[in-house]
Structure 1
């Protein structure tokens, strides 16, 4: 995960907005060149290599560099069989994300919109430079497959009895507790403690209980490889293996786990199943 301080964002954002309106092959102005010097080097210029030692696994190497396995697999196609060759070298990026080839004349804003990341964070991760043929998109999990259908066509319910204000949205956000930019894998919906939390679609309870930073968590597996997660609950009203219908009460809003807002809220996630596990996608509420 890339974490940038709030002060860094304030420095980068005005410059980022300037470049977002230019064509990909436009030459930067003198002001842009001056400000660019305060940015870190582009992530793709900071790739390193790791020589595989006997007994190492993809997961162990990823942990060594504070990465997830999906990041290593995305940068190293030879790992997609799940096998490591002792003595071979693999590419290590500086933080989690993917390398993508972009069409000509794409702007940073267009790329950010496509991958659902903050344009200013994307801009800084690429050295505050004009868009090139290959760019690094931070915080996006590499996956060999994409959902065949949209979540909105399958998960038609709402996780609370009534529409609620969003305390923190999906994607790259500023954590109000730390002032750092973090990737938020769901949405936080403000609601009083004790408010009923309900399934957005029919499914089977895959998990119900306490789960670290999620606090009290309910996970529901739905049709076509979709999953929803309901976190920070006060009370859990279902059990693992139970079949639930859309609108069925799963528990109540609480304040358990590690929360990004002091106000009571439901942390709600939508994920899809891939060969790398359950990958987060933006909820459509």
Structure 2
């Protein structure tokens, strides 16, 4: 799906770091290779810069030691991650599974976020709030109590991740506003949080679509469904089956998959966020 919102103006103007050489073909690029660079301008603050990229200030402080005082100085170069999280050096003798347990992130999500690297030395852990006190237990960014789990049970490889990509034969990049999770036709799709069904029906390129509004101004979308099991206005709980995987609408790949989005309500409308940061145990 394409999302042509406020992100378009800023993201293409910043250079991207080279992709990690150890990432497997077909996996999303490692999050740490997708950092944007931002030069602090007059009148900007750490809070305003974080807001521009839909991040929290703690994320920028964690990745940029030069602003850990809480202040950004004109001319400073800041690294901007694709979503909230922290950079972690993998301790000797530990695996991604060990880190996933420590930070309460699904191991397969941590693996995908870091480009399917087998033995990375440094990783990005999504959705965790940086703290200046390393002894403090890691805390999740505040949405964890609202959205958690996965819209598909078991392992679901990502066919297409969130962000800009260049379709085959195209000359201009388009923005993919969610993630496409591969699954067999008829696989149950489930809500990742309590909420109210705001839409349930066919919606053009989305095909059969279910939209759920959640607390704290969050919304999830489940598209390309074969069947819809809920109706507008229905109150549902986390884990409720809302439909089944299909190939309706205009999917980005010929393989059966669930197109899944997370959006947050803002003055600019429902802004798309990377769902990877919300998929947890």
1:205 paired with 2:176, answer: no
Deviation digits for residues 69-104 of structure 1, max 9, x if unmatched? xxxxx9xxxxxxxxxxxxxxxxxxxxxxxxxx9953
Query: What residue in structure 2 maps to residue 195 of structure 1?
Result: 187
Query: What residue in structure 2 maps to residue 6 of structure 1?
Result: none
1:262 paired with 2:233, answer: no
What count of residue pairs does the alignment treat as equivalent? 166
1:172 paired residue among 142, 164, 178: 164
Larger Rg: 1
In the TM superposition, what is the alpha-carbon distance from 1:282 to its structure 2 partner?
1.2
Preserved CA contact (<8 Å) 1:197 1:251: yes
Query: What residue in structure 2 maps to residue 159 of structure 1?
Result: 151
Query: What residue in structure 2 maps to residue 106 of structure 1?
Result: 77
1:273 paired with 2:265, answer: yes
2:237 & 2:153 partners in 1: Cα distance?
15
- Structure 2 unaligned spans of 5+: 9-14, 21-33, 40-51, 53-71, 86-140
- Structure 1 unaligned spans of 5+: 3-11, 26-73, 75-100, 117-148
Higher normalized helix content (fraction of residues): 1
Q: Secondary structure at the match of 1:213?
A: helix
2:38 & 2:193 partners in 1: Cα distance?
42
Q: Secondary structure at the match of 1:151?
A: helix
Preserved CA contact (<8 Å) 2:38 2:80: no
Q: TM-score, normalised by structure 1?
A: 0.50
Q: TM-score, normalised by structure 2?
A: 0.51
1:256 & 1:13 partners in 2: Cα distance?
34
Alignment of 1:245-256 (within 5 A): 245-256=237-248
In the TM superposition, what is the alpha-carbon distance from 1:176 to its structure 2 partner?
4.0
Preserved CA contact (<8 Å) 1:177 1:261: no
1:201 & 1:15 partners in 2: Cα distance?
36
Query: What residue in structure 1 maps to residue 211 of structure 2?
Result: 219
In the TM superposition, what is the alpha-carbon distance from 1:24 to its structure 2 partner?
8.6
Deviation digits for residues 259-281 of structure 1, max 9, x if unmatched? 11111110000011123321111
1:243 paired residue among 217, 235, 240: 235
